[in-house]
């Protein structure tokens, strides 16, 4: 049984969230309801829930600061349940950086379009995030891990890198922010990114990442030309790839392993378009999405960098790539930007 603390200032929204969780009494029990962030912090300390659902805009203490305090003092899986206003999205991204595991759109009333889908997303996300072992964060950044030694697999092939393909899920926004804060403005190749994130948040993620560093980050558009120093995020519910002529592919192709966008679709596309010129990066995330695409990228002569376990929020996707013997290098998060520069510039 998963013990849930609901933190939400609106009595209507709070009653709705509790009601949604109550539809699966075999899986969830709501052990507390907090009406502001300060209550949420105190009740997390006192009740020790398995997972916290966190609103962003609240009186006394907002969800961002509440998440920071929880992760510093009582590390607990936090799922941000937020509206999609500009300020809400920005603060939701900052909450992910502070240690929250996921962000999803707050369900509106039962009469609204897509209500059942949002309910399923909420229940599935809370269930999955409750299993994650979180670490203490100080000042909005995770506690330092000793850097893992660089592990080299088979020899990295020769050949100029023409594009970087990155895939990530849980913990990904904060990991991407770390990387982009370290990359230079003149990074010489384009970057394509599949980030598993709730529908409606990808544009806010792009804006937040752009503001976090020197790299331009945007939502990918079909058939636009790839540009050096620009990162392209997969749009909601569309597959992302590229052509050998250096243009973006955005298409409603079938889901792969339940995912659209899918890391495997991106890596497979990069393998076909670039061969030895593809550089793949597998970051923190839950599940195994991307492994099959990495197999094809490896077979085509591309290179693969994987985030290490110590710096991953969830080691599912990176661990699956390592277990399959596909990683050329296993690198701590703080060192990935440097490795990308070294590999891209030769």
Report the catalytic residues: 169, 196, 289
What is the DSSP code (8-state) at residue 115? H
- Match 């849980």 to its residue by tokens: 170
Angle at 311 between CA 261 and CA 206, to 5 degrees: 40
Report the C-alpha gap between 128 and 274 in whole angstroms.
Answer: 35
Report the C-alpha gap between 287 and 320 in whole angstroms.
Answer: 8
Report the C-alpha gap between 109 and 51 in whole angstroms.
Answer: 23
Q: Which helix (DSSP H) or strand (DSSP E) does residue 45 occupy?
A: helix 37-47
| Cβ atoms of residues 233 and 202 within 8 Å | yes
Q: In what order do the strands lie in the sheet with 51-54?
A: 28-34, 2-7, 51-54, 78-82, 102-105
């Amino acid at each position: 049984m998963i013990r849930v603390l609901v933190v939400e200032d609106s009595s209507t929204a709070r009653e709705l969230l509790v009601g949604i969780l109550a539809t699966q009494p075999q899986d969830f029990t709501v052990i507390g309801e907090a009406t502001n962030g300060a209550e949420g912090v105190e009740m997390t300390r006192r009740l020790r829930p398995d997972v916290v659902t966190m609103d962003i805009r609240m009186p006394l203490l907002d969800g961002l600061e509440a998440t920071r305090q929880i992760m510093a003092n009582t590390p607990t899986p936090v799922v941000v349940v937020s509206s999609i206003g500009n300020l809400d999205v920005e603060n939701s991204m900052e909450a992910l950086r502070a240690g929250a595991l996921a962000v999803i759109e707050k369900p509106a009333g039962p009469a609204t379009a897509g209500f059942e889908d949002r309910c399923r997303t909420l229940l599935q996300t809370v269930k999955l995030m409750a299993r994650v072992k979180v670490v203490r964060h100080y000042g909005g950044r995770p506690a330092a891990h000793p850097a893992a030694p660089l592990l080299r697999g088979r020899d990295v092939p020769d050949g100029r890198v023409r594009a970087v393909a990155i895939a990530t899920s849980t913990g990904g926004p904060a990991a991407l922010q770390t990387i982009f804060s370290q990359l230079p403005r003149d990074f010489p190749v384009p970057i394509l990114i599949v980030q598993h994130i709730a529908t409606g948040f990808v544009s806010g993620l792009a804006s937040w990442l752009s503001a976090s560093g020197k790299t331009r980050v945007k939502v990918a558009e079909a058939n636009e030309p790839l540009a050096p120093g620009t990162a392209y995020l997969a749009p909601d519910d569309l597959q992302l790839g590229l052509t050998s002529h250096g243009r973006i592919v955005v298409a409603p192709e079938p889901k792969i392993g339940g995912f659209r966008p899918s890391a495997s679709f991106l890596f497979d596309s990069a393998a076909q378009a670039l061969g030895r010129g593809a550089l793949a990066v597998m970051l923190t995330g839950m599940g195994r999405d991307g492994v099959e695409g990495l197999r094809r990228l490896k077979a085509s002569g591309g290179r693969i960098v994987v985030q290490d376990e110590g710096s991953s929020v969830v080691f599912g996707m990176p661990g699956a790539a390592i277990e399959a013997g596909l990683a050329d290098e296993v690198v701590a998060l703080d060192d990935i930007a440097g490795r990308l520069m070294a590999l891209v510039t030769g």
